[in-house]
A = this chain, B = another copy of it.
C-alpha cells in the first residue's frame, strides 16, 4: 500500500440506516468534522447485497460510495463472507458448520460456515466477483478487507474428507502416520486412512499428534478459503491490495501462514484499559502490535479499536480522558499506518447495540467521545510523515503458535496452567523497558540480523531449529532459552536422549526433571554473584522449576529451597562468537529485567535513552535518514525524559510527559 495519510475512520454500516437518509447525511458531515478519511464498508452486508439468490442490490452501496467520494473519504471494502444470508443456509444446509460433537449448526450468529463446502466457496466467489467488478478499480477503494475475523472450525463430512486427504498427503503411509502420532499407545493404531477423524469429545481428544495436525489442517483450510476469496477478486480484475483482520492472542489460526496470502496485515484490538495498571495493558497490547508488525516486517493497520467501551467484555469500562489518544498513538508507534474504529455509528438493535462508536444513539457532537475522536483526527493529520516508516529491531522473542498448540495440549507437567504467553511477554517486557524495539517472531523466521534472540518455553523444536540456533550463536548471536524447551519434534514426539535437543552442547547442560508448583507455591532463584543482579538477594519463581545437569555452563543463579536447593537454575556459556543463556524457572519479571539488562549491556545493542522511567513506553520508527522516537506515558504520574537532540512532532520539548501523553521526536540517523 502506498499511503499519503494515516488512515483514520472505521467500520461503517449504512445498510442499517437505509430508511434514514437524513442520518446518512449527518454521518458524513460528522465524519468530516472529526477528520475521518477512511471507512470500512460491506462487513456483514451480504443479505443486503444479495437479498435473494443471484439477485444483487448494489444501488445503495453505489450511492453511499459516491457520497463518501465527494467527501474525500477512502473506502476499505469488505467481502461479505463473514455472515451468510438466511436463504443460503435454508437452501444449502452444507454451508452450516458442524461442531466437534458432530451437530450441524442451525442458522444464526456469524462466522459459522464450513470452509470446505464447495457451495459456500462458489457463492462467495460469485459475490466477491460482483463486488470486484463493480468497485475493484475505483480509486477511492484502497484495500480489500477479506471477510471478517476468520476463525473456528467445522467437523462436517466434507471437512473430514478434506482432513483425511490432508493427512494422507502428509504421511503417505499408514505406518508413518501411526509412528508420528504414537498410536500404539492405548491401541489406537490406524489400519487405514479412512479411519482418521477429527478430534471429538465423543471420540478421541487424547492423541496429541492428531489434535496438532487437526489444528494445522484447520488453519491451512482457512488459508485455502482465503486464497479462493482473493482469487475471485483478482479474477474479476481488481488489483487493489488485500488484508484480513486478525485478532488479539488468537489461538485458532497460524497467522504466520495466513499472512503470506495477503498484502497487508491488519488487526482488531480491544485492550481492557483501567483494569490493571495501564503499563501492563499497554505492554500486552504492544506485544500484539509487534507480533502483527513482525508478520510481514512492514507497516500494518489497526483495523478495529473502540472509541469508547465495548459491550461484550465482562464490564464495560469507560476510557478515561486521553486514553483514546494514547491507544491510537500506541498503534502508530508500533508501526501501524492507521487508526480505525469499530464503529462509526452505533447500531440501534441486536447484539452490539451498546458497543462504543464515534456517533452514538444520542447522535450529537457534544459528546466526550466525539470530541476526543476529533482531537485524535487532528493530531494524526499533523504526523502524517510517519506513514510508511518502518521498524528495526535488534532483538526478537519467539512466540510460536505450533509450539503453543502442542505444549498446551500435552498432559504434564502442569495441566493447571503453563503460562506460555506470560513467559514470552516477560522476555518481551524486559527488552521493552530498555526502550528497545522487539520483533515477535515464530521459530521459522530468519534469525540473521538479530543480536539477541529469546525463545522462552520452546517446547517444540521443529526440524532444523536447533541447527539454525547454533549457526546464529556461532556467528555472534546471543540466544536465551528456558525450562521445558527442546522436548518434542514437530509431531509432538519426545526427543530421546538429552534435551534441549540439539542445544545441550551450546548451553552446556541437559534438562533432567521438571517440578510443578501448586498455585501459591514458590521457590527462589539466588544469584551466585549479587553484584551483577542489582544486589538482589533472590527472586521468586512459580509454576515450574526445571532441574538441570550442568556440564560446562557457568551458573548464574541457583534454587533457594526444596530438595534442589543450591542446584543450578540460570546459566550461560560462550559458544562460537556468541552466548547461550538458560533460565530454569518461571521467575518474576524483575529477574528478567535485571538479567536482560546485563545481557544487553554486554551486547552490541544500542538503547535510545540511557534512562527510561517506569511506565513509559519508547518505540522507534525509521525512514530514510531519520528515526521517529515515540514516548508514551502509561503511568499515573507525570514523567520526564532527557530527549536529547531531534525535532519535536508532538508533545513538549522539555521532555515532561503527562499520563496518557505522547511525545514524537524526529532524529537524524547517525
Contacts and interface: CB of A to CB of B under 8 A. Distances in A.
Given A90-B195, A354-B410, A368-B512, A187 B110 contact: yes
A351 B411 contact: yes
A581 interface: no
B347 A185 contact: yes
A643 to B, nearest CB: 28
Most-contacted residue by chain B among A186, A494, A498, A516 (CB, 10 A): A186
Contacts of A494: 346, 348-349, 353, 361
A634 interface: no
A105 interface: yes
Contacts of A99: 202
A547 B362 CA distance: 14
B351 A208 contact: yes
Given A353-B494, A354-B412, A412-B310, A316 B106 contact: no
A316 B187 contact: no
Interface string A406-425: 00001111111000000000
A124 to B, nearest CB: 13
Interface string A140-177: 00000000000000000000000000000000000000
A227 B148 CA distance: 49
A17 to B, nearest CB: 9
A349 B211 CA distance: 12
Interface in A284-326: 308-318, 320-321
Interface residues on A, range: 35 or more
B318 A352 contact: no
A315 B415 contact: yes
What is the count of identical protomers in the complex? 3
Nearest to A184: B16
Interface stretch (A79-87, A240-248, A376-384, A625-633): A79-87
A278 interface: no
Nearest to A205: B108
B203 A47 contact: no
Interface in A486-500: 491-499
B492 A351 contact: no
Given A204-B108, A315-B414, A512-B367, A491 B349 contact: yes
Given A85-B189, A318-B515, A563-B320, A350 B182 contact: yes
Lowest 6 A-B CB distances belong to which pairs?
A182-B349, A108-B204, A106-B203, A311-B412, A354-B412, A185-B350
8 contacts: A99-B202, A315-B414, A315-B415, A320-B562, A353-B494, A354-B410, A361-B499, A363-B496
